C-alpha cells in the first residue's frame, strides 16, 4: 500500500520593489493550490525561489548574493523575477549554483518547473527579448493579447472580474499590502531598462482590483499601497485616462480599509484632477510619490523626461493648497551624462525649496540596453561620488528639517508593530519601507493606552519629537480599531 506523498516545501524570497512582492504572492497561490507548503524561510525547504531585482547594479548584486546563500542551504535554487527575465540564459551560464533560471512565461507552469528541478532535470533558460514587442502598440488593443504579465493572472477569464477567485496568497500577516494597478511602462526614459523586460503598459480591470482589495481586507489588511511602474497612466488602455481618480474613492470605501496610498506617480502625467483626488478623498493618504529624477531642464531632456524646477514646485504647491500637511517624496539621479555643476546647483535649489519628506538619491551608472549607456558627456566616477555625497548630505538635513516642521501637528498613524512594548507605525506622509516611521509614546496627561494597541489600529496622535525623518508622537484618540482576528 502506497503512503501519502511527502509534502514539498518551497521558500519564496523576494527582492526589490513592492511589485515583485505581489508577483511572489501570485506564485505562492499557484504553488499552494498544487499542494506545496509555501513559506519564506529557506532553511528546510526543498526548493528556494529567489524573485530577483534587475533594476540597478547594487540590486543585481544583492540578488546574486541571495541566490548563492540559498544554494548553501542544500536546497534546489531557482532564479525568477526581473533579473532572471532580463538576462535569462546569460545568467544561467554565469551562475551554475542556480538549478534553473525562469522567465515570466514560466510563471503559469511554476509547479511543473519546480517539480522538474526536484527531479534533477535541466531547464533551458530563455533568450531575453524586448517584452514590449509582445503587445500591440495601441494601448486599447493590449487586453486581447495572450501574454503572461506577472500579477495579472486570472483563474477564469470568462467569469466577470469581480466574481473571479483571487490568485494570490499572502506571505506575511501585516496590516499593509500592495495592490498592483498595472504592469509595464510606455515611457522611454534614457536611464531605465525596465520597460524592455517588464513590457508595455497594461492596466488591470478596476472590478478585479476592487475584488482583490476586498479579499485583502478580509485577511486583515488595513492599508492598500497602489503600485505599478507608472500609476498615472492607469486606465489609458481601458479607454479612460482618469480612471485612477475614480478608483481611489471606491477603494477607500472597501470595508476594513482605512487608508489607500497611491505610489509611482509621473509628474508629467499628474493631472489636476488626480492631485485633487489624492488630497481631498476621505481615506486616501494625502501623499505624493513623484518620480522627479532631476530638476534641471537640460538634464531632464537628456533623460527623455519633462519638467523643471518651477514646474515641479508648482505641482507640489497645487497639492499643498488643497492639503497643507500633504507628504511628498521623490528619487533623484546625480552624475547623469552631460550633467554640469550648474545643473547640480539647480537640483540643490529645487530640493531646498521643495520641502520633501523623503528623498532617495542614486549615483548614475550605465545600465545594459539603455540609451544613456551610449551617451557622450560621461562624468568621472570621482566627480559623481562628490556630487552624490553633497546631495545625500543635503537631503538628510532637509528631510530632518521637514520632520521638525511637523512638531505639534496632529497626524493619523497606522500601527504596524507592537514589539516588546514599542509601538511603531506610519503617518499619512510615511509609506512603508521607503520613508520614515512614527514611534508612539505614552503621556501622563493624555492619550490612548499603548498596551491596548494592536497592528492595524488607526490612531490620531500629536507629534512631540523627531529623530531624523522619524517622528515621535503621543496617541490621543482611537480612530479605527483593527478587527479582532477570527
Binding residue numbers for [4Fe-4S] cluster: 17, 53, 82, 185, 189, 192
DSSP states of 344-390: HHHHHHHHHHH--SEEEEEE----TT-GGGG-S-PPPHHHHHHHHHH
Grid cell 547623469 is found at 336
Buried b (16+ CB within 10 A) or exposed e, 388-397: beebbebbee
In contact, 459 and 453? CB cutoff 8 Å: yes
Burial class of residue 108 (count of CB atoms within 10 Å of its CB; 0-12, 13-18, 19+): middle
* 29, 150 contact by CB (below 8 A): no
Residues with Cβ within 8 Å of 421's Cβ and at least 6 positions away in sequence, in order, are 450, 451
* C-alpha closest to that of 224 among 236, 215, 237: 215
Question: What is the distance between the alpha carbons of residues 367 and 197, in angstroms, rounded to a whole number?
Answer: 13
HSE, side-chain direction, 13 A CA sphere, residue 10: 29
The residues that bridge with 227 in the sheet, in sequence order, are 180
Which residues are CB-contacts of 37 (< 8 A; sequence separation ≥ 6)? 7, 8, 9, 10
Q: Annotated binding site: which residue ranges?
A: 17, 53, 82, 185, 189, 192
DSSP 108: G
Q: Report which of 146, 143, 164 is spatially closest to residue 155, judged by C-alpha positions.
A: 164
Q: Are 176 and 431 in contact (CB under 8 A)?
A: no
Closest Cα to residue 357, out of 385, 316, 387, 386? 316
Q: How far apart are the first and last CA of the chain?
A: 40
Helix (H, G, I), strand (E, B) or coil at 482: coil
Closest CA to 431 of 177, 171, 210, 168: 177
Residue 81 belongs to what H/E stretch? helix 81-87
Task: Round to whole Å and give the CA distance between 236 and 476.
Answer: 43
Q: What one-character DSSP code corresponds to residue 438?
A: E
Amino acid at each position: 500500500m502506497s503512503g501519502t506523498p511527502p509534502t514539498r516545501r518551497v521558500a519564496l524570497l523576494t527582492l526589490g520593489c513592492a511589485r515583485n512582492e505581489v508577483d511572489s504572492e501570485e506564485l505562492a497561490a499557484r504553488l499552494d493550490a498544487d499542494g506545496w507548503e509555501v513559506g519564506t524561510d529557506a532553511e528546510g525547504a526543498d526548493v528556494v525561489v529567489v524573485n530577483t531585482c534587475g533594476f540597478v547594479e547594487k540590486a543585481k548584486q544583492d540578488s546574486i548574493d541571495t541566490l548563492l546563500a540559498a544554494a548553501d542551504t542544500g536546497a534546489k535554487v531557482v532564479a525568477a523575477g526581473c533579473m532572471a527575465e532580463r538576462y535569462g540564459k546569460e545568467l544561467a551560464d554565469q551562475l551554475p549554483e542556480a538549478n534553473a533560471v525562469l522567465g515570466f512565461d514560466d510563471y503559469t507552469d511554476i509547479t511543473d518547473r519546480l517539480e522538474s528541478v526536484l527531479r534533477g532535470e535541466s531547464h533551458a533558460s530563455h533568450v531575453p527579448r524586448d517584452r514590449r514587442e509582445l503587445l500591440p502598440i495601441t494601448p486599447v488593443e493590449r487586453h486581447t493579447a495572450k501574454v503572461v504579465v506577472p500579477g495579472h493572472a486570472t483563474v477564469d477569464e470568462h467569469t466577470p472580474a469581480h466574481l473571479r477567485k483571487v490568485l494570490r496568497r499572502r506571505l506575511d500577516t501585516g496590516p499593509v499590502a500592495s495592490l498592483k494597478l498595472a504592469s509595464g511602462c510606455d515611457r522611454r526614459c534614457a536611464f531605465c531598462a525596465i520597460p524592455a523586460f517588464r513590457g508595455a503598459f497594461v492596466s488591470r480591470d478596476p472590478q478585479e482590483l476592487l475584488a482583490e482589495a476586498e479579499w485583502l481586507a478580509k485577511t486583515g489588511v488595513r492599508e492598500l499601497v497602489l503600485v505599478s511602474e507608472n500609476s498615472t497612466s492607469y486606465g489609458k488602455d481601458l479607454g479612460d485616462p482618469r480612471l485612477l481618480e475614480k478608483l481611489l474613492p471606491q477603494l477607500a470605501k472597501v470595508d476594513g480599509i482605512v487608508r489607500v496610498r497611491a505610489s509611482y506617480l509621473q509628474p508629467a502625467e499628474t493631472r489636476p484632477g488626480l492631485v485633487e483626488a489624492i488630497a481631498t478623498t476621505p481615506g486616501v493618504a494625502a501623499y505624493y510619490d513623484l518620480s522627479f529624477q532631476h530638476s534641471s531642464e537640460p538634464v531632464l531632456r537628456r533623460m527623455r523626461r519633462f519638467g523643471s524646477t518651477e514646474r515641479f514646485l508648482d505641482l507640489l504647491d497645487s497639492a499643498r493648497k488643497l492639503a497643507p500637511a500633504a507628504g511628498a517624496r521623490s528619487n533623484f539621479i546625480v552624475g547623469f551624462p552631460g550633467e554640469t555643476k550648474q545643473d547640480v546647483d539647480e537640483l540643490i535649489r529645487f530640493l531646498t525649496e521643495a520641502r520633501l519628506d523623503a528623498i532617495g538619491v542614486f549615483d548614475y551608472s550605465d545600465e545594459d540596453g539603455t540609451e544613456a549607456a551610449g551617451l557622450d558627456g560621461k562624468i568621472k566616477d570621482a566627480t559623481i561620488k562628490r556630487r552624490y555625497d553633497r546631495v545625500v548630505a543635503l537631503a538628510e538635513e532637509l528631510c530632518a528639517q521637514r520632520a521638525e516642521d511637523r512638531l505639534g501637528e496632529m497626524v493619523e498613524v497606522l500601527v504596524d508593530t507592537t514589539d516588546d512594548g514599542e509601538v511603531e507605525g506610519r503617518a499619512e506622509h510615511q509609506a512603508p519601507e521607503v520613508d520614515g516611521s512614527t514611534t508612539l509614546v505614552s503621556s501622563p496627561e493624555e492619550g490612548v493606552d499603548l498596551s491596548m494597541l494592536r497592528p492595524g489600529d488607526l490612531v490620531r496622535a500629536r507629534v512631540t519629537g523627531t529623530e531624523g525623518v522619524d517622528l515621535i508622537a503621543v496617541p490621543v484618540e482611537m480612530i479605527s480599531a483593527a478587527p479582532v482576528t477570527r
